[in-house]
A = this chain, B = another copy of it.
Amino acid sequence: MSNAFDFAPLLPAGLPAPAVKWTGSPKYNFTGGNNDADELPLDGIISAADAVLRREGRTLATYGLESGPQGYRALRDFLVQKLKRDAGIVCTADEILVTSGSLQAIDLVNGVLLARGDTVIIEQECYQGSINRLTRMGVNVVGIPLDKDGMRMDALATALDDLKRCGVRAKYIYIIPTVQNPTGSILPEQRRTEMLRLAEAHGVPIFEDDCYADLIWDHKRPPALHAMSKSANVIHIGSFSKSVAPALRVGYIVAPWAILSRMLSIKFDAGSGALEQMVLAEYCASHFSAHIPELTRGLRNKLDTLMESLNEQFGTAAEFEEPKGGIFLWVKLPDNVDTLKLYQPALAAGVAINPGPEWSVNKPHSRSRMRLCFASPTHDEIRKGIAVLAEVCHREFGVPTRISNVKRG
């Protein structure tokens, strides 16, 4: 349109770049938190939808399903039981706020605790969505290094002491303790005790993100930090995206009413999606416990395929710790590989990866690392995709030096 209105002069400063038009999914997609379509419990979801709609579908005519603004009551009741059984959390339905995915949960926690210029402590390698939110809010981020068991408590103690010396009280310590994103580690119980001690001593609350905690190979889930706290200083969030289906946008917050009531007062959306809450509650009440072992078995098989493919295609050029659960593998490539620069040529060849620096606040450390999500591609796609990735990486960076046992270069 030649005389089209120009919105550009009206835009405020600081907006992100405009989105680019979506052009479809990559052929080999190792990004995002997509799940295994074959493991989706579709029959159970269909039956649940039918049953719950027949029984109480007319409540859809009312905002909040006659359960009030904290979310569908049956879903919160399920969560009370599930969190007790799986994570040791003792809470009531009144201490749970259902959200539109865990991303809204993060927004609400940030909304009631953070202002520009505040400081928070997070894991050095950490969920991109959380890092980006803090950056956009102008919050100072102190990253704590990880080892194979997650956040290092010696480093946390040092960081807290350093901040104290500067007169800074961090607003929270954000951690994904159980199946860490992106490393897949699980924080041992002893470290949890130590973390709670440090947090209490410094008067800093803990923001515990347990979105992946259902997906543990050996099902040995430690008690949540929320469960171990003696002073109600932990805000706990979770999600059904990884355990049932990511496109269902349902997450939740568990927190003392004193702070949950603050979050509820800034949840201006007239409620989260009701149909999704109803169907999840109905499905989970009778099927969740049986579904999880099936799902994790399938995911574990895919992880094996991914690790085999990496060994085969990259050899020693790809280093990784075996994750204890979840849907992704955190891979170290040789130092000369810049995964931000590997991203585009890989995508052009049909392979999508998550470059390490997008999952880290330590850019030099993460420069040659990448996150690979193995849940969504099929076994065959994993094998072929990793082969293509190795070719591209070889072409761009000279590593791996050998491709499929054929020496190159």
Give the B-binding residues of A (Cβ under 8 A).
1, 3-5, 7-8, 10-13, 15-22, 24-25, 32-40, 42, 45-46, 49-50, 53-54, 57-66, 68-70, 94, 100-101, 103-104, 107, 112-115, 118, 129, 132-133, 169, 171-172, 200, 205, 230-233, 241, 245-250, 256-259, 261-262, 264-266, 268-276, 279, 376
Q: How long is the Cα–Cα vector from A258 to B11 in the complex, in angstroms?
A: 11
17 extra interface residue pairs, beta carbon distance < 8 Å, beyond A10-B172, A63-B246, A249-B271: A4-B231, A5-B231, A7-B205, A7-B256, A18-B261, A20-B261, A35-B62, A40-B61, A42-B53, A42-B60, A50-B50, A100-B272, A241-B270, A247-B271, A248-B273, A273-B276, A274-B276
Is A245 touching B4 in the complex (CB atoms < 8 A)?
A: no
| Nearest chain B CB to A156 CB, angstrom units | 18
Is B113 touching A11 in the complex (CB atoms < 8 A)?
A: yes
| Nearest chain B CB to A318 CB, angstrom units | 26
- Which B residues are in CB contact (< 8 Å) with A200? 5
Question: Interface of chain A, helix or strand or loop or mixed?
Answer: loop
Q: Nearest CB to that of A63 among chain B residues? A: B246
Q: How long is the Cα–Cα vector from A103 to B269 in the complex, in angstroms?
A: 6
Q: A1-B231, A275-B279 are in contact. Are A62 and B50 (CB under 8 A)?
A: no
Is B69 touching A42 in the complex (CB atoms < 8 A)?
A: no
- Which B residues are in CB contact (< 8 Å) with A275? 49, 247-248, 273, 275-276, 279
Ranked 7 nearest A-B pairs via Cβ: A22-B68, A273-B273, A247-B274, A5-B233, A18-B261, A12-B115, A19-B264
- Which B residues are in CB contact (< 8 Å) with A113? 7, 10-12
Give me 5 A-to-B residue pairs in the complex whose CB atoms sit less than 8 angstroms apart, sorted by A's number.
A10-B169, A59-B247, A62-B376, A65-B247, A107-B268
Q: A34-B63, A57-B45, A62-B376 are in contact. Are A5 and B264 (CB under 8 A)?
A: no
| Nearest chain B CB to A219 CB, angstrom units | 22
- Which B residues are in CB contact (< 8 Å) with A8? 258
